[in-house]
Amino acid sequence: MKSYRSYSDLELLDLVKEEDRNAFVEIFERYNKLLYSHVYNKLRDEDTSRDLVQDVFVALWEKRDMIKNVNLSGYLFTMSRNKILNLVSHHKIVTDYATTIQNFAEVSEGLADERIREKQLAEIINKEINALPERMREVFLMSRFEHLSNREIAEKLNLSEQTVATHIKKSLRVLRQKIGMAIFLTSFCHCGGLDTPLAPEKNEHKKNILLFFPSGIPDRSDSTVM
């Protein structure tokens, strides 16, 4: 009986189409190491390369009826190349997706922390504003929240402009002393400076800080309470 080793690739393919498993084994032994060497050179991973080569031979067996007049070695190497490309493409998609998820998680965590700080700061500011003497609080709110001029406030409350100015000055001094300059400097660092354009959700945070610095942010090294 003629040895399978003596058969040409085309003869072996014809036998494989007839479901000759010995012919298939001969093809495997003839090309397995060559394909593995080729695939490993691209992937540099033994297990993955071995699995991919096995997939090539499985595909050869499953598609044996559709193979016609092909160069066997070229056919096998083409299948290997396509599977490598598919694997690399899939790996890139998975990696990109994982990176996107990770970036989203990091950004979300940062935003959550910042919102907590902003909420805490707003609560502190509101608490200390509400603790001001009634007339001082009224003048302060009209000045800083309603954006009225000293003259407008004076007319509304039947006060002199000097009295209004004194109330505002005292309220700012009291609030700075109560809340502490460190809170404002910390907030200033986190928001990147009050001259830096902020996202809409940060505008309220910026506005709260500006209440206490009508003439602009003091130098960070200056810790003097006005």
pLDDT tens by residue, 76-133: 999 999 999 888 887 776 666 566 666 666 666 666 677 777 777 777 777 878 888 8
SS3 state at 137: helix
Please tell me the distance from the alpha carbon of residue 146 to that of residue 11, in angstroms, as a whole number. 93
Contact predicate 47/67, CB 8 Å? no
Please tell me the distance from the alpha carbon of residue 57 to that of residue 24, in angstroms, as a whole number. 9
- Write down the pTM of the prediction: 0.44
pLDDT score for 218: 42
Residue 194 has pLDDT above 70, yes or no: no
The pair of structure tokens assigned to 174 is: 């009291």
Contact predicate 57/28, CB 8 Å? yes
Amino acid at 90: H
Please tell me the distance from the alpha carbon of residue 96 to that of residue 98, in angstroms, as a whole number. 5
Alpha-carbon Rg for the chain in angstroms: 38
Which of 19, 22, 16 has the alpha carbon at shortest distance from 3?
22
Angle at 144 between CA 138 and CA 146, to 5 degrees: 75
Nearest-10 crossing angle of helices 134-144, 72-130? 140
* pLDDT tens-digit readout, 142-164: 888 888 888 999 988 898 989 98
Contact predicate 222/139, CB 8 Å? no
Please tell me the distance from the alpha carbon of residue 203 to that of residue 182, in angstroms, as a whole number. 20
Q: What distance lies between CA 119 and its chain's CA centroid?
A: 23
Task: Name the pLDDT band for 71 (thresholds 50, 70, 90).
Answer: very high
**Per-chain mean pLDDT for the chain:** 76
